[in-house]
Amino acid sequence: MLNDRIRIKEVLGSDMVNHNITIMGWVRTFRNNQFIALNDGSTNNNLQVVAELGHYNEELLKRITTGAALKVKGTIIPSLGKGQKFELKAEIIEVIGDSDAEKFPLQPKKHSLEFLREIAHLRFRTNTFGSVFRIRHSLAYAIHKFFNDKGFIYLHTPIITASDAEGAGETFHVTNFDLENPSKNEDGTINYKEDFFGRPTNLTVSGQLEAELGALALSDVYTFGPTFRAENSNTARHLAEFWMIEPEMAFSDLEDDMNLAEEFIKYIIKYALDNNREDLDFLASRLLDEEKQKPQNERNEMGLIEKLEFVINNNFERITYTEAIEILKESNHNKKKKFQFLIDKWGVDLQSEHERYLVEKHFKKPVILTNYPKEIKAFYMRQNDDGKTVAAMDILAPGIGEIVGGSQREERLEKLEERMKEMNIPVKELSWYLDTRKFGTCPHAGFGLGFERLVQFVTGMTNIRDVIPFPRFPKNADF
Amino acid sequence: MLNDRIRIKEVLGSDMVNHNITIMGWVRTFRNNQFIALNDGSTNNNLQVVAELGHYNEELLKRITTGAALKVKGTIIPSLGKGQKFELKAEIIEVIGDSDAEKFPLQPKKHSLEFLREIAHLRFRTNTFGSVFRIRHSLAYAIHKFFNDKGFIYLHTPIITASDAEGAGETFHVTNFDLENPSKNEDGTINYKEDFFGRPTNLTVSGQLEAELGALALSDVYTFGPTFRAENSNTARHLAEFWMIEPEMAFSDLEDDMNLAEEFIKYIIKYALDNNREDLDFLASRLLDEEKQKPQNERNEMGLIEKLEFVINNNFERITYTEAIEILKESNHNKKKKFQFLIDKWGVDLQSEHERYLVEKHFKKPVILTNYPKEIKAFYMRQNDDGKTVAAMDILAPGIGEIVGGSQREERLEKLEERMKEMNIPVKELSWYLDTRKFGTCPHAGFGLGFERLVQFVTGMTNIRDVIPFPRFPKNADF
């Protein structure tokens, strides 16, 4: 049994002066043949290991290189250096795993995020990505805790599905066929009866419809799983594979939905502030450095921590789509034709530039937009009495745009079927979905939140590929 | 805002006598035009709603049918009936959603599990599946809590991957091609450069290799995500899509690995016993009924609760593969040729019948088998000094067989490369994996646990299709 080691987070977080302990970790830097900065991933902070001069042979000292794995036994002493309270006076240093300094791609210097993306298998060992992935963990945990404490049931909705009923976008096909030689019918079309599932299948774009089935029996459920889009979007905002959270609540309307979403976002951000302060502080200063490269007028007005605290301490602004259109139409931005897409009439879909204007210029806080025109929203959203809008809501966050999309669902069978026919949604294929409206239907509502967008918002990372361990995007499925 | 309702779990769990409250839920039964058993999915128990005779009109009473959704306002009173402490004396009853009793597939009687599998979108509304999915939720939550409290980082490893390097089984292909007309090279082969990811991709069979990348930077990580097998196994033990948990620990050996796995299993079972006792009691009595249909000698010796308590209160038996072979070879079972596959020599893979014999007949407790022959295990397992075995461990559970498979990983670059070549694992494709052995390698270990197997073990459900909301298996991808 190897594990008598103590994690560095624990060492730095408690007073262990004079304790004789063992730590293990990877060398970040080795200065003056004497000072080793050791990191074990439990915290962003390194423990300084002091190797007394003359105490260790040359051979060993040469092997203490950036990236090498060490086991160190020694005594904790108060540190004289600045920036650290304790350090470890080494008695025994053992190199567990060498690292050829000439070949190790991570040098003790600043690397570009682009370069680190190419060595995603090693970037966990940098300060930035250590912090990002510890925060990602905390946010995921906070999400489960939030819903569990509220009595929601975590539902694993299917990943492989035969329906793209939601029409949410292009899907990936899943097949067991040899693509060179799939089974074919006499007329030359694919014989899906011979495929694994006996029909065409694809990767899910959303677990919502299945979550509704759960909610109409268990009252409150949520999903947290991977979803997929086969869209050829090579941007800093899109991934082909990303994780989504989708709560669904029976006996709830649009207002309940907004209340839940706002409480939820505030809860998880507060959780990160309470549990990951060191990592957030590090990323905040990283972001500040990054911003310094930009012209003054493109910089964020708030620092990262300030922004997060602002979100948890202020009510989200709630306005209707119609009100938003009025604000945008009357804005100087619109009048001076600063928008790429000018707002001239009710009914148009809002672009990212409009959302950002509302959030960052006009209200300067997160905004919940409600009651969108039914033409630009999905078939399952509840139709409002005006005949024009649906009970939808999107939450827009500063710097990130849409972070939540939700709605009250159409629970009235006739209205739902009517809308499905209008929109060419196959009613028969979705008979199971309609059953919930036939047997004990009830008002219900839910929303979806893209997990990576949330991680971006909290960490301040500008490229979505930097907040998921191994990003999937066009022409890339490395690792 | 609709949600002034109180959940039935809360009503039944506290003393609210004389409180005037609102509840919402679905009718399970309606007796004597007077007693409504209402369920809202928060607990297996119904709240009895009493509709005073003569107080409600015929029209309304006719609509109170099994499956209908109701809103009831009334006063909590002590119950005179047996089996319940409180009931709700209704003042206002509103039918939110009707349910045509003639058409609603769930009648107030016992349905077969096979039938319920066909209406998986409605089976959440039965006692059995309500309990199963509440327990499934609790187990998932306990898993996150266990690892979070121990300082592990939750890592989302990729679902779509270009490597089936582990060779763990047949994979599903993922493609953006129109299968009728994929892009082809001049020689007629598929031109994968034109596919979405620019190469052939498939659904992951395990996140382990990527988890190792995380562990060799963050020390302790775990995955919890969907994994896939395109195997044509139409059994009660296999799914094409299932969820797996894979922890990975740096600076750890096989013993650490076993210790973690045993502590982990005990923790989550205890969590379910502490938090889902009503649901477990219900499933225990369901299982007892099911067992009564079997001949005496096929029945389990222990009830469900007894079995779970036994597991958390006893040490798992730890023996080597070699010891297990000796026990099996010398067993009366083997001598009397009761095994389908007789054990005659060292080196053979154990079949389910052997595992069950060890667990259920010989030791009568969970067993951890270690140090398997290297020929029957994966390339990444650490080679023992005997040259014959690897530092693997499987945990076998009563009634279920293998529930955990793990190992210490081969951290020595040369040994690993050598073994990969012997087993025809493409070394070049896995250069990223080998990098961890080049730069600061260290002893590390981990295991995988199939979540559905665990849910089966805890709920006593015998068919794996009954513990996941919408099971995926050959020729089936409904809902």
Domain containing B210 — which CATH number?
A: 3.30.930.10
Residues B101 and B129 in one domain: no
Query: How far does B278 lie from chain A, in Å, by closest CA?
Result: 15
Selected residue of B44, B174, B234, B415 to mutate for chain A interface (largest A Cβ count, 10 A): B174
Residues A295 and A371 in one domain: yes
Per-window interface: A 382-411 vs B, CB < 8 A: 411
Task: Give, rounded to a whole angstrom, the gap between the first and last alpha carbons of chain B.
Answer: 31
Taking only the tens place, the pLDDT of each residue in A65-85 is 999 999 999 999 999 877 788
Alpha-carbon gap, residue A156 to A457, rounded angstroms: 26
Query: How far does A214 lie from chain B, in Å, by closest CA?
Result: 6
Position A398 pLDDT exceeds 70 = yes
Counting beta carbons within 10 angstroms of the beta carbon of residue A33, is it exposed (0 to 12), middle (13 to 18) or buried (19 or more)? middle
Q: CB of A435 within 8 Å of any CB in chain B?
A: yes
Query: Pairing state of beta strands A317-320 and A173-175?
Result: unpaired
Which helix (H) or strand (E) segment holds residue A390: the answer is strand A389-397
Identity of the residue in A130, A173, A435 whose CB atom sits nearest the CB atom of B179: A173
Which phi and psi angles does A402 have, rounded to 5°?
-60, 125
Q: Quick one: DSSP state of residue A374?
A: G
Residues of A in contact with B217 (CB under 8 A): 26, 41, 122, 124-125, 130
The residue of chain A with its CA nearest to that of B42 is A218
Flag whether B290 is in a domain: yes
Share the mean pLDDT of chain A: 95
Residues B154 and B282 in one domain: yes
Selected residue of B157, B439, B451, B468 to mutate for chain A interface (largest A Cβ count, 10 A): B439
Average pLDDT over residues A246-255: 98
Query: Token pair of B242, please?
Result: 């299932």
DSSP lists the bridge partners of residue B25 as B70
Residues A13 and A156 in one domain: no
8 A C-beta contact, residue B446 and residue B291: no
Residue A233, helix vs strand vs coil? coil
Which phi and psi angles does B376 have, rounded to 5°?
-105, 15
Average pLDDT over residues A388-395: 98
Cross-chain Cβ contact B440/A179 below 8 Å? no
Identity of the residue in B67, B154, B252 whose CB atom sits nearest the CB atom of A2: B252
Alpha-carbon gap, residue B438 to B427, rounded angstroms: 13
Domain count, chain A: 2
Instruction: Choose the final residue of a domain: B108, B141, B158.
Output: B108
Note the pTM of the prediction, 2 decimals. Answer: 0.97
CATH of the domain at A23: 2.40.50.140
Query: B167 in the Ramachandran plot: left (φ > 0), alpha (ψ -120 to 50) or beta?
Result: left
Residues A93 and A131 in one domain: no
Flag whether B192 is in a domain: no
Q: Which of A120, A235, A272 is nearest to B158 (CA)?
A: A120
CA distances from B44 to B37, B48, B305, B464 (A): 11, 13, 17, 21
Q: CB of B101 within 8 Å of any CB in chain A?
A: no
Residues of A in contact with B37 (CB under 8 A): none
Average pLDDT over residues A44-67: 95
pLDDT for the residue numbered B53 = 92
Residue A196, helix vs strand vs coil? coil
pLDDT for the residue numbered A300 = 84
Cross-chain Cβ contact A475/B176 below 8 Å? no
Alpha-carbon gap, residue A389 to A373, rounded angstroms: 4
Average pLDDT over residues A207-214: 97
Query: How far does A54 lie from chain B, in Å, by closest CA?
Result: 25
Flag whether A336 is in a domain: yes
8 A C-beta contact, residue B241 and residue B226: yes
Residue range(s) defining the domain that contains residue B58: 8-108
Residues B103 and B131 in one domain: no
Flag whether B98 is in a domain: yes
Cross-chain Cβ contact B137/A121 below 8 Å? no
Flag whether B353 is in a domain: yes
- Residue A109: pLDDT band (50, 70, 90) is confident
Residues A302 and A432 in one domain: yes
Average pLDDT over residues A397-416: 94
Residues A254 and A358 in one domain: yes
Cross-chain Cβ contact B240/A160 below 8 Å? yes
Q: CB of A74 within 8 Å of any CB in chain B?
A: no
Identity of the residue in B189, B241, B443 whose CB atom sits nearest the CB atom of A160: B241
8 A C-beta contact, residue A257 and residue A249: yes
Position A399 pLDDT exceeds 90 = no
Average pLDDT over residues A441-468: 97
Cross-chain Cβ contact B219/A7 below 8 Å? yes
Residues of B in contact with A122 (CB under 8 A): 213, 217, 435, 439
Residues B93 and B160 in one domain: no
**Residue type present at position A409:** R
Helix/strand number for chain B, H first, E second: 14, 16
Rg (CA), chain B: 27
Query: Pairing state of beta strands B153-154 and B220-228?
Result: parallel
Q: At what angle do helices A254-275 and A304-313 cross, to 10 degrees?
A: 140
8 A C-beta contact, residue A393 and residue A255: no
8 A C-beta contact, residue B175 and residue A171: no
CA distances from A389 to A250, A330, A372 (A): 22, 22, 5
Position A308 pLDDT exceeds 90 = yes
The residue of chain A with its CA nearest to that of B9 is A151
Q: Which of B29, B26, B31 is nearest to B42 (CA)?
A: B26
Q: CB of B74 within 8 Å of any CB in chain A?
A: no
Alpha-carbon gap, residue A8 to A13, rounded angstroms: 8
Flag whether A181 is in a domain: no
- Residue A355: pLDDT band (50, 70, 90) is very high
Residues B82 and B163 in one domain: no
Flag whether A310 is in a domain: yes
Per-window interface: A 283-342 vs B, CB < 8 A: none
Query: How far does A138 lie from chain B, in Å, by closest CA?
Result: 8
Per-window interface: B 149-168 vs A, CB < 8 A: 151, 153-162
Residues A456 and A423 in one domain: yes
Q: CB of A263 within 8 Å of any CB in chain B?
A: no
Counting beta carbons within 10 angstroms of the beta carbon of residue B361, is it exposed (0 to 12), middle (13 to 18) or buried (19 or more)? exposed
> Average pLDDT by consecutive 10-residue portion of chain B (479 residues)?
85 94 97 96 97 94 97 94 88 97 91 96 97 98 98 98 72 94 95 96 96 98 97 92 98 97 98 98 96 88 93 96 97 94 95 93 95 96 98 93 96 97 92 97 98 97 97 96
Flag whether B196 is in a domain: no
Q: Which of A449, A453, A446, A447 is nearest to A468 (CA)?
A: A453
pLDDT for the residue numbered B84 = 83
pLDDT for the residue numbered B118 = 96
Residues B291 and B212 in one domain: yes
